A and B are shown apart, each in its own frame.
Chain A
Amino acid sequence: APLPATPNPEYWLSSRQTSEKDITSYNNFYEFGTGKTDPMRHAGAMQTRPWTVAIEGEVAKPRTFDIDDLLKLASLEERIYRLRCVEAWSMVIPWSGYSLATLLKQVEPTSKAKYVEFVTAVQPEAMPGLNDRIIDWPYVEGLRIDEAMHPLTMLVFGVYGKMLPNQNGAPVRMAIPWKYGFKSGKSIVKIRLRETMPVTSWVGIAPNEYGFYANVNPAVPHPRWSQATERRIGDGFFAPRVDTLMYNGYADQVASLYAGMDLAKNY
């Protein structure tokens, strides 16, 4: 279904956009299987209405939002972000949504709210991947509060001017463009503000491979592959890989969040 959004020129990457077909057929969404085409094939069974997002924890006004209220909470912007997967490929995607901060301000985080946790839906009858037990379901991701309040951190409802297809995390997901893609939780049902750092799903599985921060960093390799370059999806057989940029090219906006931190340790 169409989802009108107003282009926001402040967040407008000029690179060639990845095709809608590639964006919607090459996904990591393990609830539907570990293969890249599994989400496209299985996610249709997920029920996205009715849908609520509960916001709880360290907030003055905990509240459960209906998805249709979230869609009306602020005017939808179209932003073109680069998505850099930890697997060393990237896409350029026109997302529709608004800054997560807009939503968080509604519930008034308390002074104890140091971290934000995002919880993905669990629908056993629709999600064959839940049987794989790769992840201790539900899928959980999280941010430091200053990262969550950063205007780049986006609550996403649509792509290419349409409602998100299920395989891309319908009806609502995150987009955090300076971090590896796995940080952007999909099909979110709960947002919990906490005083302590959550144990996010991939950190729980392989803490030596995936860190809580997961900032895109060409200088810090993954144990099993280099992060110095990436393959741009859709560039064809003979296109060379492109250099990965620090913070995925968003260093001007976010580098100050990590001033003084050892990025090799806090990967």
Chain B
Amino acid sequence: MSTSGAMPAKWSAKQVGRIKPLVFLIALYPVLRWVWLGFSGGLGANPPEFLIRSSGIWALVALCLTLAITPLRRLIQQPAVVRLRRMLGLFAFFYTVLHLLGWALWERGWSLASMWDDVVQRTFITVGMVAFVPMVALAVTSTQGWMRRLGRYWQTLHRSVYVIAGLSVWHFWLVRAGKNDFFEPYAYGVVLVVLLLFRLVYVVRQRGAHGRQ
């Protein structure tokens, strides 16, 4: 029994592990939706455009959820929730890869030369690609083995997720610039800033707490 009355019982890593399959299925919702829409004629007149945009949005959603894990576990005082973070991060990577493959196939016709031209000539593609490169590194080093091997550098490396998130929102912003239609990129930007502020406040409080000792 916990002695600190108000504190909830801490979930064990095993307990959190049990809901992982459920989270996995929920994270596959976008794919199931695409398949459903595909068979019911719901992808509209321009399915490639729909899928490229949709995968990009879901990549951003998964990235925000990944970054929400730490604030969440502190808020509900359940550190074991961190066990869901890697899976969500890998889903962000998964949807980003689909987004990239959609662009490579439907916009650039698998032509490497044409892809390179796009990356070099267009700022929003450049920014998107710059965001993707460190994402590969994070996905590769997401295993227990790499965590062990990298030791304290692992966390330093994985802090680049903030840079990736910032670049992703910037990429989305640039995409929408043509239509002066910034509501969505703005909303994701605000979510991101709130998630970062939460961390800052936490760090400042921790320092304050140490200072009083």
The chain A residue sitting closest to B47, CB to CB, is A237
Residues of chain B within 8 A (CB-CB) of A21 are 45
Residues of chain B within 8 A (CB-CB) of A237 are 47-48
Closest Cβ of chain B to A22, distance in Å, is 4
Contact A233 B178 (CB under 8 A): no
Q: How far is A234 from B45 in the complex, measured between Cα atoms in Å?
A: 6
Q: How far is A235 from B90 in the complex, measured between Cα atoms in Å?
A: 33
Residues of chain A within 8 A (CB-CB) of B46 are 26, 36, 89, 231, 233
Contact B45 A225 (CB under 8 A): no
Contact B109 A241 (CB under 8 A): yes
Contact B178 A209 (CB under 8 A): yes
Residues of chain B within 8 A (CB-CB) of A48 are none
Contact A134 B44 (CB under 8 A): no
Contact A231 B44, CB 8 Å, known A223-B122, A226-B117: no
Residues of chain B within 8 A (CB-CB) of A224 are 122, 124, 174-175, 177-178
B40 at the interface (CB under 8 A from A): no
Please, how many residues of chain A have a CB less than 8 angstroms from a CB on the other chain?
25
The secondary-structure label for the interface of chain B is helix
Contact A132 B109, CB 8 Å, known A89-B46, A224-B124: no
B106 at the interface (CB under 8 A from A): yes
Q: How far is A237 from B124 in the complex, measured between Cα atoms in Å?
A: 25
Residues of chain B within 8 A (CB-CB) of A205 are 180
Residues of chain B within 8 A (CB-CB) of A37 are 44
Per-residue A-contact encoding for B117-152, CB less than 8 Å = 1, 0 else: 110011010000000000000000000000000000
B207 at the interface (CB under 8 A from A): no
Residues facing A in B102-125 (CB within 8 A) are 106-107, 109, 114, 117-118, 121-122, 124
Contact B118 A226 (CB under 8 A): yes
Residues of chain A within 8 A (CB-CB) of B107 are 225
Closest Cβ of chain B to A75, distance in Å, is 31
Per-residue A-contact encoding for B146-181, CB less than 8 Å = 1, 0 else: 000000000000000000000000000011011111
Closest Cβ of chain A to B132, distance in Å, is 18
Residues of A within 8 A of B (CB): 21-22, 25-26, 34, 36-37, 89, 132, 134, 205-206, 209, 221, 223-226, 229, 231, 233-234, 237, 240-241
Given contacts A36-B46, A205-B180, A231-B46, list 16 more A-B pairs with CB under 8 A.
A21-B45, A25-B44, A26-B45, A36-B44, A37-B44, A89-B46, A134-B179, A134-B180, A223-B122, A224-B122, A224-B175, A224-B178, A226-B114, A231-B48, A237-B47, A240-B109
